[in-house]
Structure 1
Amino acid sequence: MTLRQQLSFPRQHARTQRFTLGAPRAFTVSPDGARVTFLRSASGTDRVNSLWVLDLEDSATGSVAGAGSGAGSGEGRERIAADPAVLLGGAAERLSPEERARRERSREGSGGIVGYAVDGAGQLAAFALSGRLFAAELLAGTTRELPVRGPVIDPRPSPDGRHVAYVADGALRVIGADGERDRELAGCSADEGEDISYGLAEFIAAEEMSRTRGYWWSPESDRLLVARVDTARVRRWWISDPAHPEREPVKVAYPAAGTPNADVRLFLVDLEGPGGAEGADAAEGPGKARTEVVWDRARYPYLARVHWSAAGAPLLLVQSRDQRGQLYLAVDTATGATRTVHRDEDPAWLELFAELPAWAPDGRLVRIADEGGARVLMVGDRPLTGPQLHVRAVLDIGEHDVLVSASAGEEAAGPETGEIHVYRVNELGVERLSEGAGVHSAVRTGDVTVLVSARPDTSGASAQVLRDGKRLAAVASYAEQPVLTARPELTEAGTHRIPCAVLLPTGYQESDGPLPVLLDPYGGPHGQRVVAAQNAYLTSQWFADQGFAVIVADGRGTPGRSPAWEKAVKQNLLLSLDDQIEALHALAERFPLDLGRVAMRGWSFGGYLAGLAVLRRPDVFHAAVSGAPVTDLRLYDTHYQERYFGGGPQEVPEVYARHSLVTDDGLSAPESPARPLMIIHGLADDNVVVAHTLRLSAALLAAGRPHEVLPLTGVTHMTPQEEVAENLLLLQVDFLKRSLGMG
């Protein structure tokens, strides 16, 4: 029997894209509470998503709206609203370079319909498929292609459902939902070049700010806010494919730390008007009825958020480049002028939150703020939560309450490690809606809520539809059941009470003796690994079953605990390694850990941490696998590096040098032991470019330090390719066993 046949989990893990395929996602509830729209592929190994609708029972009559097969009586019925195989006639999906880049930014590895948008009534859905534009009538169950120029990116219906806007060739266009009057609303004029685009999020917004959009409809469907992005001053990098020397390198605009960002402006564009009026010929060219939105872009260059609802004027959140100051701005739609609604400042940095800021229905400002040592929900000038909760996201803003996602605050009595719950908040108090240990989230419209729950003792996640808190239906999941069961023990370790998960081999007995240790962290900002969910530890359990005691630890800098915990790493991300060591030594007093055989593996920030471990602390760590590591901190992007380091390389060169793995400061003393290090990197990575690994390898070679480099041809920062994902696990465990003398 071959090694691959013996280890079936790596193949299953790769084929299922980490057990995400077949699971429902991207839920939308219609305002009338009659339908839930979502994406799902046909099985746990099918990468092609279809658009689905769950028709719910009418609460008054008990009848079921719509038809089709699905859950039984009382559960509503599921039906396919759009099937890529039918729409493409069985042809393979073809992606434009722009769409590939968008999917890379969102870490989207599946195919088919990967995103959609609906109108205000939840009756019309628009989506791009293979660069073509489709509109689905969710009530009728019909889907049609709209005849437009492509390749299409990010189509969105107007709130009234009469139009669909989309981006093609760097221009924002609009077409009637009936397929008529396709025209350009905002595009490059004769004096603008290829560096200009309209309606798209720039690299920094999509990669670091979680702003994936570049245009927004007005509530009245008569105007749009459109971002104009100019990358002329952004430095160009070239991503080549050494395995195919006949191919031209790809040119990308990459704003590395300390270098110019894209210039982002915002315009109000009329749907009616020259070039945009209904009935206007597309040949008339771009619409001229546009008004620039004005703010101090020199001081606040980052356009972080845009919100436009019927509850108030368009609302912007703009940030200073150092991210220590930000303004909440209301836009005068007649003139484009802005007024300051609120101002935030922080000595470290200001966090961004999805879908915020926003207006409550009564016109008060809704935001999340760090106040009094806690992360709280603010409605108007009043905090509605206190230190008992660490608010993570606003899920919905209702007439009488706000739905939030939160974990226990540091002052909460007996916080449960890794749990995230859904809470209903208003002036009367806080009510928890999710039940039982787990990681819970929700989507809500009106009185209908889709509650998604992942639990520590069950694989995958369940999606329940609730009306007024009572179970109405469930959305089926086709995700595969893993061939193994993770058995993490969630705990805290050390004087800093570091959240940890410890996994031992299945069937381990105390008589088996101490185990070689594998630390398996991400360990950095925006990457919580210690969560109360089964699937989060499947790979860690597989490594444990190969003979390791596996530790997953979330030290200072990781999210979910308190603002002070996250911001402790300001200009000192090296604390992340200190906390891994603190957790290791504290856990050794309670678990069978062989401190003479300790390794670390990680990807991205975790890859940086793994390299840091063996280079800076070879007295503790004896081997490491470093995947896609950031090694020369000057090569990573502006928004990330300048936030945590307090400026660019020109302003704080000593901070960059102290953290770098490729400088004299980065390498350990020559007389210290050289520990085995495997470095893995995708050659097509446009986020953490392969230059990071090449520079580290060159520095190690110059210092006479042995190491292994595994280049991945055609692989980006993700590793969705089945063979690559599978064999990466097998090669890592082989390297670790060899390096730790495990036979």
Structure 2
Amino acid sequence: MHRYVGWMLLLAGCGAAPVASVPEPAPDAGFLEQYAATYRFRNGTPTSIAVAPDAVFYLQSGPRDTARALFVFEPAKGEARRLLTAADLLEGGAEVLSVEEKARRERMRLSATGIARYSVSRRGTHLLIPLSGRQFLYERATGKARAVGPEGAIDAVLSPDASTVAMALEGQVALVDVASGSQRTLVKRGDDEPTVTWGQAEFVAQEEMGRYTGLWWSPDSKSLVVQRTDTAAVERFSQADPMDPARPVQPWPYPRPGKANADVRLFLVQLHDLQEIRWDHEAFPYVADVIWPEGAGPLVVKVQDRRQRTLRLLGVDRRTGDTWTLLEETDPAWVELDGQMPRFLADGRFLWTTEREGAWQLELRAANGTLERALTAPALGYRGLDHVDEAAGRLVVRGGTDTTQQHLFQVALAGGEATPLTSASGYHALATCEDGDLAVHVLYPERGPATWTVARLGDLGRPLGALASRAERPGFEPTPEWREVEGASGRRYPAVIVRPRSFEPGRRYPVLLSVYAGPGALMVRRVADWLVFDQWLADHGFILVKLDGRGTPGRGRAWSRAILGDLITVPLEDQIDGLQALGRALPELDLSRVGVMGWSFGGYFSAMAALLRPDVFHAAVAGAPVVDWRDYDTHYTERFLGLPDAEAAAYDQSSALTYADRLARPLLLVHGTQDDNVWFLHALKLSDALFRAGKVHDFLPLSGFTHMVADAAVTRSLQGRILGFFRTHLGGPR
């Protein structure tokens, strides 16, 4: 029914558009089918790249299927070959995912089937592959894979020496000896502890911190840090399936702002000794990471206070479990986590990143935590660490002053100016090996297809080979224009404008603002391939615009912290400021007909734009929007808005429910009924508030879908519906 309505709206929109004086070439009629069937042209690209001293491993599917297989490229042989498929491991059996594995993949935004993830031992001799509730160990020396340990492991980690697999099972952690297959229970919950898990990362660690494990091996494979989590005090959300009322309700612990978080503890296991790692849990309830140094230096736990204004590195006494503060980072707004840090060197010194001087910098710290020197200047625009070569005293980092691009730079541990390693426009990154110079240079260029080039560090310009993409190419190339625009405020914003390929000077086009506008993500990047869908929309008679304003990363601490205490006012101001500046510069933009669309935070922004600024925005599509921040999770929300009891005004001001009675423009709400990140209750609450206020709106529930929409048929129908909605309410070029 939704598909039928979507195409009816599409036809109605076409009929309402004025007739052009010169017939427009028809947009690619088969695009939506291809776009959906190829999962947005992502299927078939090399992904999950891991580099060993003598080989590169990666996952890859076919162009029109989601089943990934494991491949290897060995420079000595000069070509890639397929190592394993899910069918090889399951011997023809069907893949079955547990409820817990589905939830874990949702946190990782992972929709692939087949071999969806894997890990490689330090020397590249063994690979551990989770599949269908089992753990499979592949030995390169024999070319054989076998199942290890019991079924039902939620997480598993291979020891650095590849001798043992630590498995997080329901309520316990087991160790499996690789050679003999014998296993023993390391720790387990008591019969009176139904809410306790061992060895698993809690919800906010996975969703907000990017930490997906609760097991950490020591480099010598003799000790293990294990997370114990108790969710007894955490509120339970229950998820029923409206399409299947007979299906049992699934309860999930979900910590809302101001309410209880999971109680997270760490235990150090050495041989048969279980020692709790102790710190002030009341003051620092969040465990961001655990780091074992490869050489000198203590075991380190990275913790945060609940308001996230203080981040501490705690050194651990391995004999007693006592801790001390090695380093403390503070910020009056919030401290941003960097999951790559600290990175220890062999002598106990470590790398660290900070925004203390107003922008991200990489630092070298002494073994006692004191600052030795800054390795990058604030102006470099540091974004990440790709390689450390201690022997040569060199690092490779990602950065750049232009947030629309990303480049590679060489930095010396001794200090000095960073040396650019790349110059081609686009986004560059490196996948490297801890114990060698083999690397994969990934480039998403400004124009044309991405490349994955295998080379040696220090000689990236001399390829050893390439990881070939199997992805389909669309039937057209996007034609975007990137520019920086200065608003009436004096602020400058990166922007990209996508015109129809049949654009006619002198005509005025309705505008679509495609938006995220929230923390942690950029919309404007100098890669045309990432604008294929935007080009297809524009080809139907729109000019599509993207802008990055305050609150987004890459422009310094003050720029990103401008949203403290209010998640909508500043993003809305900047998007409007930039949009109106483009309108003044480009007369083809008809700002009397502006649509706005986005997903997640972008969906929230779109709903708020329609509610708060109907003078600017004339139609909105809000996908999976957060409606009331009191109903989102603790770690994300409290970072920006504080605790709701103390900051009620900030929560009210940032809530769409506060303004529901103001709706004066067409609004389409879209939300997956099984979303366990931004729960379906958000769209229901807004729809209910709008209905009670007498405000007509459209509501499209996606039955059975989570925060991701990976189904080809639903993707095709959804995008057709969105296109039809905007053509109906904004019309065509005039």
What's the TM-score, normalizing by structure 1? 0.90
Task: Provide the rounded CA distance (Å) in 1 between the counterparts of 2:231 and 2:544.
Answer: 44
Give the number of aligned pairs. 691
Give how far 1:616 is off.
0.2
What are the within-5 Å matches in structure 2 for residues 376-415 of structure 1?
376-380=361-365, 381=371, 382-399=373-390, 400-401=392-393, 403-409=395-401
What are the within-5 Å matches in structure 2 for residues 104-503 of structure 1?
104-146=106-148, 148-191=149-192, 193-270=193-270, 272-273=271-272, 289-311=273-295, 312-380=297-365, 381=371, 382-399=373-390, 400-401=392-393, 403-409=395-401, 416-426=402-412, 427-445=415-433, 446-469=436-459, 470-493=462-485, 494=487, 495-503=490-498
> Which stretch shifts more, 732-741 or 95-104?
732-741
Q: 2:727 matched to 1:741? A: no
Give how far 1:401 is off.
4.2
Structure 1 residues 90 and 326, CA gap change in structure 2 (3 angstroms): same
Q: 2:616 matched to 1:620? A: yes
Amino acid at match of 2:408: V
Post-superposition CA distance 1:325-355 (Å, at most 9, x none)? 0111111111111121111110111111122
Task: Provide the rounded CA distance (Å) in 1 between the counterparts of 2:474 and 2:194.
Answer: 48
Amino acid at match of 1:589: R
Give how far 1:738 is off.
0.7
Task: Provide the rounded CA distance (Å) in 2 between the counterparts of 1:471 and 1:23.
Answer: 19
Q: 2:582 matched to 1:582? A: no
Task: Provide the rounded CA distance (Å) in 2 between the counterparts of 1:587 and 1:291.
Answer: 61
Task: Provide the rounded CA distance (Å) in 2 between the counterparts of 1:453 and 1:668.
Answer: 48
> 1:99 matched to which residue of 2?
101
Structure 1 residues 603 and 404, CA gap change in structure 2 (3 angstroms): farther
Task: Provide the rounded CA distance (Å) in 2 between the counterparts of 1:94 and 1:255.
Answer: 29
Structure 1 runs of 4+ with >6 Å offset: 2-6
> 1:276 matched to which residue of 2?
none
> 1:722 matched to which residue of 2?
712
> 1:284 matched to which residue of 2?
none
> 1:562 matched to which residue of 2?
556
Q: 2:51 matched to 1:29? A: yes
Match of 2:598 among 585, 597, 602: 602
Structure 1 residues 190 and 245, CA gap change in structure 2 (3 angstroms): closer
Determine which structure has greater relative contact order: mean sequence separation of CA pairs < 8 Å that are 6+ residues apart, divided by chain length.
Answer: 2
Amino acid at match of 2:112: S
Post-superposition CA distance 1:490-528 (Å, at most 9, x none)? 1122221111111000131213x0100000011110111
Task: Provide the rounded CA distance (Å) in 2 between the counterparts of 1:393 and 1:419.
Answer: 14
Post-superposition CA distance 1:224-276 (Å, at most 9, x none)? 01111111111001111111111222101000111110000001113x33xxx
Give how far 1:438 is off.
0.8
> 2:38 matched to which residue of 1?
16
Q: Secondary structure at the match of 1:208?
A: helix
Give how far 1:28 is off.
1.8
Contact 2:484 2:492 in 1 (8 A): yes
Amino acid at match of 2:338: F
Give how far 1:179 is off.
4.8
Contact 1:628 1:680 in 2 (8 A): yes
Q: 2:60 matched to 1:48? A: no
Structure 1 residues 465 and 140, CA gap change in structure 2 (3 angstroms): farther
Q: Secondary structure at the match of 1:581?
A: helix
Task: Provide the rounded CA distance (Å) in 2 between the counterparts of 1:383 and 1:553.
Answer: 32
Give how far 1:432 is off.
2.1
Structure 2: stretches of 5+ with no match in the other structure: 1-6, 12-26, 366-370
Give how far 1:115 is off.
1.5
Give how far 1:194 is off.
2.1
Task: Provide the rounded CA distance (Å) in 2 between the counterparts of 1:34 and 1:726.
Answer: 42
Post-superposition CA distance 1:605-661 (Å, at most 9, x none)? 00001001110000111000000000111100101110011x121110000001111
Q: 2:671 matched to 1:639? A: no
Post-superposition CA distance 1:432-478 (Å, at most 9, x none)? 22331111111222222211111120134434333432422211111
Task: Provide the rounded CA distance (Å) in 2 between the counterparts of 1:405 and 1:249.
Answer: 47
Task: Provide the rounded CA distance (Å) in 1 between the counterparts of 2:328 and 2:383.
Answer: 20
Task: Provide the rounded CA distance (Å) in 2 between the counterparts of 1:298 and 1:402.
Answer: 40
Give how far 1:677 is off.
0.2
CA RMSD of aligned residues (A): 1.8
> 1:700 matched to which residue of 2?
690
What are the within-5 Å matches in structure 2 for residues 58-69 of structure 1?
64=77
Task: Provide the rounded CA distance (Å) in 2 between the counterparts of 1:609 and 1:401.
Answer: 45
Task: Provide the rounded CA distance (Å) in 1 between the counterparts of 2:389 and 2:491.
Answer: 38
Amino acid at match of 1:176: D
* Identical amino acids, percent of aligned pairs: 39
Structure 1 residues 170 and 478, CA gap change in structure 2 (3 angstroms): farther
Contact 1:522 1:606 in 2 (8 A): yes
Structure 1 residues 250 and 190, CA gap change in structure 2 (3 angstroms): closer
Contact 1:225 1:266 in 2 (8 A): yes
Amino acid at match of 1:50: A
Contact 2:239 2:251 in 1 (8 A): yes
Q: Secondary structure at the match of 2:179?
A: coil
Contact 2:126 2:138 in 1 (8 A): yes
